[in-house]
């Protein structure tokens, strides 16, 4: 089915997605200056027969990825430094990062320990205003938390594409996916770069003779459903074109008063007895730090 039979509608930018780069490894490099600019892998236990749960960008340059066995990682990168994971420290930074992001835009959903989604309001949907918010998030994090906590930010008509936008530029990315950029701006991605395409779905897509994003975009909704073997294929067809799934992305937009820069959310709370994130300037742990009350922290894969 020719692509031009399914024109992509004009849709405004509605979501801003923040994905921290090499999150666990970056926290370690922020807290421990001796690890900066070094290839490091974060591990759960100190043995070569475990896998890396995160890798710094210096390690990634050697081909060390999340999930790789440490004996293999050391073969690829002989100078690799293995660092024992400190989850309480990553959670402490998570709380501080969310608090910082909320100085610039309310967080709609915490998607994992290193990913959040924020809905743009009607007065934030221009490329200029949304990128201004994204830049202020980045500079706020660098100034108030630490320059080693870098993130990729995606801005798009729906939450799914905003997350895809974070895949397009790493580290420290900022990508705006306007409806008119679609689908060409996605063509450089691999099938597996798409959220929701794991090994099984990738195998199904390839078995159907589709090897890349242009091939996927050439399918119609019915064909997508058939390839996926479920309604999710059809949903993906809409999501990849910036359309939302009813009830989640399509809620009526509102307006927020502007500007919010530096306004802060004045949250305060007690620490939870874990490793407090150090102050960006002094490098010293603060006496107390803000904890988001009543927010459900979702633990998921990090450090990709
Ligand atoms: Mg990440």
- 134: in domain: no
State the DSSP string of 241-286: TTPPPTTTTTSPP----S--TTT---------SS-PPPPTTT-SPP
Query: If we measure between CA atoms, which residue out of 93, 115, 118, 123 comes closest to residue 107?
Result: 118
How far, in Å, CA of 75 to CA of 2, rounded?
47
pLDDT score, position 11: 86
CA angle 85, 89, 93 (to 5 degrees): 125
Question: Which residue is associated with the tokens 């994971």?
Answer: 85
- 251: in domain: no
Q: Mean pLDDT, to the nearest integer, of 129-158?
A: 98
Q: Which residues line ion ligand 1, judged by CB < 5 Å?
A: 19-20, 114, 304
| Average pLDDT of the chain, as a whole number | 84
User: Of 86, 106, 128, which closes a domain?
Assistant: 86
- 71: in domain: yes
How far apart, in Å, are the Cα atoms of 262 and each of 17, 97, 265, 289?
20, 14, 9, 17
User: Higher confidence at residue 89 or residue 6?
Assistant: 89
Beta bridge partners of 25: none
User: Of 225, 240, 255, which closes a domain?
Assistant: 240
User: Of 218, 240, 262, which closes a domain?
Assistant: 240
Write the pLDDT tens digit of every residue in 227-278. Answer: 999 999 999 999 999 998 755 554 555 676 554 443 333 333 333 223 333 3
Question: Which residue is associated with the tokens 């058939």?
Answer: 226
> Distance from the CA of 140 to the center of ligand 1, in angstroms?
18
- 112: in domain: no
> Distance from the CA of 303 to the center of ligand 1, in angstroms?
5
- 202: in domain: yes
Domain of residue 82, CATH code: 3.40.1170.60
What's the domain range around 41? 24-86
Write the pLDDT tens digit of every residue in 78-125. Answer: 999 999 999 999 999 999 999 999 999 999 999 999 999 999 999 999
Residues 6+ apart with CB under 8 A from 95: 277, 289, 290, 291, 292, 297
Q: How many domains does the chain have?
A: 2
- Give, as one character, the DSSP assignment of residue 47: S
Among 58, 115, 124, 167, the active-site one is 115
- 163: in domain: no
What is the band of 183 on the pLDDT scale with cuts at 50, 70, 90?
Answer: very high
How far, in Å, CA of 194 to CA of 189, rounded?
8
Coil, helix or strand for 150?
Answer: coil
- 62: in domain: yes
Query: Is 272:96 a contact under the CB 8 Å cutoff?
Result: no
- 172: in domain: no
Query: Is 135:16 a contact under the CB 8 Å cutoff?
Result: no
pLDDT score, position 279: 39
């Amino acid at each position: 089915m020719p692509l031009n039979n399914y024109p992509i509608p004009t849709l405004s930018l509605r979501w801003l997605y923040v994905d921290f780069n090499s999150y666990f490894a970056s926290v370690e490099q922020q807290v421990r200056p001796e690890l900066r600019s070094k290839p490091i892998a974060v591990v759960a236990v100190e043995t070569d027969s475990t896998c890396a749960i995160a890798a710094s960008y210096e390690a990634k340059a050697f081909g060390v990825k999340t999930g790789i066995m440490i004996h293999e990682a050391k073969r690829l990168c002989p100078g690799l430094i293995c660092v024992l994971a400190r989850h309480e420290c990553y959670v402490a930074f998570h709380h501080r990062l969310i608090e910082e992001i909320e100085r610039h835009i309310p967080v709609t959903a915490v998607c994992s320990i290193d990913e959040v989604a924020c809905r743009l309001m009607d007065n934030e949907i221009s490329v200029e205003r949304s990128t201004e918010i994204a830049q202020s998030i980045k500079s706020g994090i660098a100034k108030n938390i630490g320059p080693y906590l870098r993130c990729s930010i995606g801005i798009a008509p729906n939450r799914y594409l905003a997350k895809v936008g974070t895949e397009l530029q790493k580290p420290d990315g900022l990508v705006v996916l306007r409806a008119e950029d679609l689908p060409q701006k996605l063509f450089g991605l691999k099938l597996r770069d798409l959220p929701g395409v794991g090994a099984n779905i990738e195998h199904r897509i390839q078995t159907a003779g589709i090897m890349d994003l242009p091939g996927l975009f050439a399918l119609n909704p019915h064909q997508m459903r058939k390839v996926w073997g479920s309604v999710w294929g059809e949903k993906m067809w809409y999501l990849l074109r910036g359309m939302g799934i009813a009830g989640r992305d399509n809620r009526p937009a509102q307006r927020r008063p502007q500007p919010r820069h530096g306004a802060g959310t004045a949250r305060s709370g007690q620490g939870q007895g874990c490793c407090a994130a150090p102050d960006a300037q002094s490098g010293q742990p603060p006496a107390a730090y803000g904890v988001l009350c009543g927010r459900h922290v979702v633990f998921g894969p990090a450090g990709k």
